[in-house]
Amino acid sequence: MAENENDIDFTEYQDVGDELLAEAKGAAGAVLPDDMHPLARKTVYFIDNFSEWQGRIACLMIVPIIGAMVYEVIMRKFFIAPTLWAFDVSRMLYGMSFMLGAAYALMRGLHIRADFLYRGFSERNQGRIDLVLYVVLFMPSMLFFLWAAYEFSIKSFSQWERAGDSTWAPIVWPVKMSLMFGVLFLVIQGVSEILKSWYAATRGKWPV
């Protein structure tokens, strides 16, 4: 306990985890309720597990990012021989990991949202709000973004585009391809979120 009224007792927060960041944690590895439609249950389980493993693979990009930065620092500080490629490698891989990890973040409920009011709503109303927003705003905008990203990446690939702001001039079409795939994975995960929102809106509880 705190010694006086001005001290803060942090022991009550020791068991608090990602709940401060997210309400939903995804169905990866979870047992979904029996009253969920069998097709919806299989779809949610498959998509969430796909996003889980796809996100884990995308996280591995942090290894070469750290490697490039450590190598650059050593070469620059100790051998006065800065590289041409380290910065470009780090920024491209960071951008790719950001986009390819977006669906995983959505599945885990870790995207930024203004939920100071939302948290106080019943789970049924939360499901209704999410369902409307996913169907009316999220999916149409993501589908448009997917179409734009497809044209963007295909044009870059066909031109074998290189970075014009770098002396090293690396090829950049893989980065732009990752934008397209990142949005595609978001669309796929959006299907799972719609099904979970529908369940919450009709059953009054979240499936996970």
Backbone angles phi, psi at 134, to 5 degrees: -65, -40
Q: How far apart are CA 55 and CA 99, in angstroms?
A: 10
Determine the pLDDT at residue 144. 97
The label of the residue with tokens 């470009």 reads 88
| pLDDT at res. 113 | 75
What confidence score (pLDDT) does residue 25 get? 65
The 10s digit of each residue's pLDDT in 102-122 is: 999 999 988 877 777 888 899
* pLDDT confidence of residue 10: 41
What pLDDT score does 4 carry? Answer: 52
- Alpha carbon 121 to its chain centroid, in Å, reads 25
Q: CA nearest 176: which of 157, 202, 196?
A: 157
Low-confidence ranges of the chain (pLDDT < 50): 1-3, 5, 7-21
- Supply the pTM of this predicted model: 0.84
